[in-house]
Copies of this chain bind each other. A is one copy, B any other.
Amino acid sequence: MDINDSVEGAKFRTEVREFVAANLPADIKRKVDGGLRLEKDDYVRWQRVLFDKGWIAPGWPTEFGGTGWEPLQRHIFEEECALGSAPAVISFGVNMVAPVIIEFGNDAQKEKYLPRILSSEDWWCQGYSEPGSGSDLASLQCKAVRDGDDYIVTGQKTWTTLAQYADMIFCLVRTDNSGKKQQGISFLLIDMKSPGITVRPIRTFDGSAEINEVHLEDVRVPVENLVGEEHMGWTYAKFLLGHERVGIAQVARSKKQMQRLKMIANTELVDGEPLLSQPEFAAKIADVEIGLIALEMTELRILSDESAGKAPGPESSILKIRGTEIQQGITELLIEAIGYDAHPWVPAAAIDGRNEPPIGSDYAASIAPHYFNWRKASIYGGSNEIQKNIIAKMVLGL
């Protein structure tokens, strides 16, 4: 055993680090470091940099444009991108719909969509949740009825992250109502410009507008946009949920936030002493930091098993639960750290290049909204309650 990077691993780490340092646009880095709002263009510019380098889709098979990296190598890549202040690659295309297309799609679909995902020409969003079906995803009602060479899709999707930017949506739709609710679901790729689609923003209580309702009214979707077999969509959805383990824990991004927290706690003063030197606060930081170390090591153990050929299993629910708890824990300590400076609500401060001077310290404005916004982390993407159900049933056999 060896906990250190291998010689090749260390070389690769340096390569990624230097690449990010040299190629990440300075304005994007500034926004990420300052917790400012990223626009669509920011994401796309960075994704195109990765695309040009051939690093946009490490998880794909090499024949479609993947890198052929081992899981641990991918881990290094993710870590160095995050530590270098690169924005996250938006998952919906590269890491969500693409693996489904690669595994279950036909050749035409692969030829049509994969290159456009690689090049960020298409922005994808995810049409899973509906108003009536939150944690109980399989109870979805959005209906697709066959009509000639088309499906006619009617229904509503919700919590659709960044749908306002999207060119395409992958949807779970109900094509049959007769059997168990998990049966009769199909997996459709839908052009967001199709007539009958309306996107309505849902404002969240932190003040941001990153999620949406997507209304579909008699939307015509060519049958060629069906992935795999009709009624088999639940299988593909489950494949997707269990597929992705690299990065789910968000260890590197939490490390980065932890650095920021410590910097801020070292700047804030309590009766002239840094807050960081107050034993009670230092203890809380240490608890989260120790949890983060445990999370990273757990992720490495799982990735190491994966490198050794062990199939992805439900243990990744651990990564989701602890990953979000730690992210939320850091936002909680951040808001604690700044005291009254968390009170002013200054939406303009989230925008890069603002003219007004900050209220309080220059890092303060984004901290409370970030704390509020991040409550979503334990709700979206399979709530932590659902993750615990999965562990109880799939791992513990209860």
Contact = CB atoms under 8 A, between A and B. Distances in A.
Interface of A: 278-280, 283
5 contacts: A278-B279, A279-B279, A279-B280, A280-B280, A280-B283
Contacts of A283: 280
A283 B278 CA distance: 12
Nearest to A283: B280
A395 B280 CA distance: 36
The CB with the most chain B CB atoms within 10 A, among A278, A279, A283, is that of A279
Contacts of A279: 278-280
A-B pairs with lowest CB-CB distance, top 5: A279-B279, A280-B283, A279-B280, A280-B280, A278-B279
Contacts of A280: 279-280, 283
Contacts of A278: 279
Nearest to A278: B279
A279 B279 CA distance: 6
Nearest to A281: B279
A280 B279 CA distance: 6
A257 to B, nearest CB: 24
A398 to B, nearest CB: 16
A278 B280 CA distance: 10
A278 B283 CA distance: 12
A315 to B, nearest CB: 27
A151 to B, nearest CB: 41
A201 to B, nearest CB: 34
A141 B280 CA distance: 53
Nearest to A279: B279
A290 to B, nearest CB: 14
A352 to B, nearest CB: 40
A148 to B, nearest CB: 50
A278 B279 CA distance: 9
A347 to B, nearest CB: 36
A241 to B, nearest CB: 29
A271 to B, nearest CB: 14
A356 B283 CA distance: 40
A279 B277 CA distance: 12
